[in-house]
Structure 1
Amino acid sequence: MFNTTLKPLLLSATLLATALITSLSSQAQSTTNNLHDSWNALLNKHVVAINHNHSTEVDYAAIQGDHTQLKTYLDSLSAVTQNEFDAWEKPKQLAFLINAYNAFTVELIVSNLGSKEPQNLKSIKDLGSFFSSPWSKAFVPLLGKTRSLDDIEHGLIRGSGKYNDPRIHFAVNCASIGCPALRGEAFTATELESQLQQQTVRFLSDTTRNFAQENTLNISSIFKWYGDDFEKGFRGAETLQQFLLQYSDALKLVPAQQKALRNNDMKVKFLDYNWDLNARQ
């Protein structure tokens, strides 16, 4: 016969084990988010919203004064092993990769300012050469390899096939005015979905870069360069038009324009891209 006096002991042991597992899970989540705390602090301090919060400017000169803090953060990213990364859930991985792309882009700008004032560096493209772009430079120690910014965006994020979320194009920042805003906070696993959604609405509702005019939809060249990413079934969107219709409110499309876009009767025009540095003036 089962000894009934053992029941309370077994129940206590079960509760203790459950509490321990919950605690370890919470600690793991906290550790992942804490990884980006110093980056979050730098963004809070040096990224300024402009253009009715549709865009941001970055105080690269001031970040230069906090360069040690930035480099410490970058070192912490570089210390993450491939095995650690692989054990994370997808939101943790994607937040990590977006933050890494943005932080190393800022590092590329700051480390090339030297004693110059930011206004003397007109564009990130100035950091490339005739034979290679700044995005192809291998200077990023990440997940056991020395990578380029292109490797992070086109290899680890887009090329992996894991994430299939075109909204990343409104989260990664190329240090240019034409880019979607550099978010003034770090991306985190727990907030990633809302952050990506906010960034998408923020960019699409910016009438300096995306706007409808009668039967023409004028949109950023991002949609030309990465058009295929918006046609891979994200929330059922098999075409760029279907993706944009999900954000008809942000684009301020009236019902007639929505219908025309849905029926592929609306002309789509890609606007010129502004590669000037998004530096705080």
Structure 2
Amino acid sequence: MKKLLLLFFAITLTGLGAAFDHTHSDFTAVLKKRVKNEEVDYHELKASPGKLGAYLVALSEVTEKEFESWNDDRQKAFLINLYNAATLKLVIDHYPVKSIKDIRSPWKQKRVKIFGRAVSLDHVEHEMLRKNYDDPRIHFGVNCASGGCPALRGEAFQAAKLDSQLDEQARKFLADGNKNRIDSGKGILYLSPIFDWFEGDFVGKSGSVEKFIAPFLSSAGRKSVEAGSLKIKYTDYDWSLNGR
């Protein structure tokens, strides 16, 4: 009888499939090995793409019903990691390139597998992440494989610590003087074009771009700003590949 019960549970578990790993440990293993000093070793990643490919397969096997049963943080972490992993795969499939823009229609290609269909990176970012979650910090999590992006994090995003991870991404990005800085003498707030391209997301959340970035500036040890106190100018966006 005991053996029959064990066999029943084994069959049941096999039918249900293994529980999804919400720590995204396989992706963290890839990132820890291939991301150093905020740069990606695309050469080595292209030479050994197996773990990245297996991770993307694992994501593609999650059903829409299963995904919808998760809370928002689990969903956001899943989609941000999917975007970043799929972007890495896109680059290594065309590597060597000097910029992701050297790839034809990189954000429009329907090559991201999710819920039994293929969608584009744009779809993941705009139709899933931006559309369904009122969280502009997403822009500091997704990475477009370019120098102008917030840096690709050296670990996967996880629901259990997503808030702290995204907050840290925002602080680091706003502390990067090449992308965001204040010139008090000239009365100018220089910001990344990300705050221009997605202004509506930041304004919708906090009332203004300045109000949105204020807590991240202060926590990063930078002088905060009040809306309208400084003229905003946007820095040049660096589209060169974020590679080593």
**Taking structure 2 as the reference length, what is the TM-score of the superposition?**
0.88
2:32–2:154 CA contact under 8 A, matched in 1:
yes
The alpha-carbon deviation at position 263 of structure 1 amounts to 4.8
Q: 3-state SS of the aligned residue for 1:136?
A: coil
Cα gap change, 1:103 to 1:263, in 2 (>3 Å): closer
Question: Which is greater in Rg?
Answer: 1
Structure 1 residue runs of 4 or more that deviate by more than 4 Å after TM superposition: none
Cα-to-partner distance string for 1:112-171 (whole Å, 9 max, x where unaligned): 12xxxx3xx11000002xxxx2101111111222100000000110022xx211111011
Q: Choose the corresponding residue for 2:64, options 65, 79, 82.
A: 82
What amino acid is the match of 1:68?
A: G
Task: Could you tell me which runs of 5 or more consecutive residues in structure 2 were left unpaired when the two chains were aligned.
Answer: 1-18
Mapped to 1, the partners of 2:217 and 2:146 lie a distance apart of: 26
What amino acid is the match of 1:112?
A: H
The alpha-carbon deviation at position 32 of structure 1 amounts to 3.2
1:221 aligns with 2:193: yes
Cα-to-partner distance string for 1:31-90 (whole Å, 9 max, x where unaligned): 4325x21111000001012xxxxxx10001111122111111110000001000000011
1:177–1:278 CA contact under 8 A, matched in 2:
yes
Mapped to 2, the partners of 1:42 and 1:263 lie a distance apart of: 41
The answer for the alignment partner of 1:136 in structure 2 is 108
What amino acid is the match of 1:184?
A: G
2:192–2:236 CA contact under 8 A, matched in 1:
yes
Q: Choose the corresponding residue for 2:152, options 170, 179, 182.
A: 182
Task: Could you tell me which runs of 5 or more consecutive residues in structure 1 were left unpaired when the two chains were aligned.
Answer: 1-29, 50-55
Mapped to 2, the partners of 1:170 and 1:164 lie a distance apart of: 14
The answer for the alignment partner of 1:173 in structure 2 is 143
Mapped to 2, the partners of 1:83 and 1:140 lie a distance apart of: 18
Q: 3-state SS of the aligned residue for 2:152?
A: coil
Identical columns (%)? 43
1:167–1:197 CA contact under 8 A, matched in 2:
yes
Cα gap change, 1:70 to 1:263, in 2 (>3 Å): closer
Cα gap change, 1:144 to 1:216, in 2 (>3 Å): same
1:204–1:251 CA contact under 8 A, matched in 2:
no
Mapped to 2, the partners of 1:245 and 1:193 lie a distance apart of: 17
Root-mean-square deviation (Å): 1.4
Mapped to 2, the partners of 1:146 and 1:188 lie a distance apart of: 24
The answer for the alignment partner of 1:194 in structure 2 is 164
Mapped to 2, the partners of 1:82 and 1:201 lie a distance apart of: 33
The answer for the alignment partner of 1:68 in structure 2 is 50
Mapping for residues 239-254 of structure 1, pairs under 5 Å: 239-249=208-218, 250=220, 252-253=222-223
Q: 3-state SS of the aligned residue for 1:32?
A: coil
Q: Choose the corresponding residue for 2:228, options 264, 269, 280.
A: 264
Cα-to-partner distance string for 1:234-261 (whole Å, 9 max, x where unaligned): xxx11112112222323722xxxx4xx4
Cα-to-partner distance string for 1:185-211 (whole Å, 9 max, x where unaligned): 000110111100000001000111110
Mapped to 2, the partners of 1:156 and 1:228 lie a distance apart of: 16
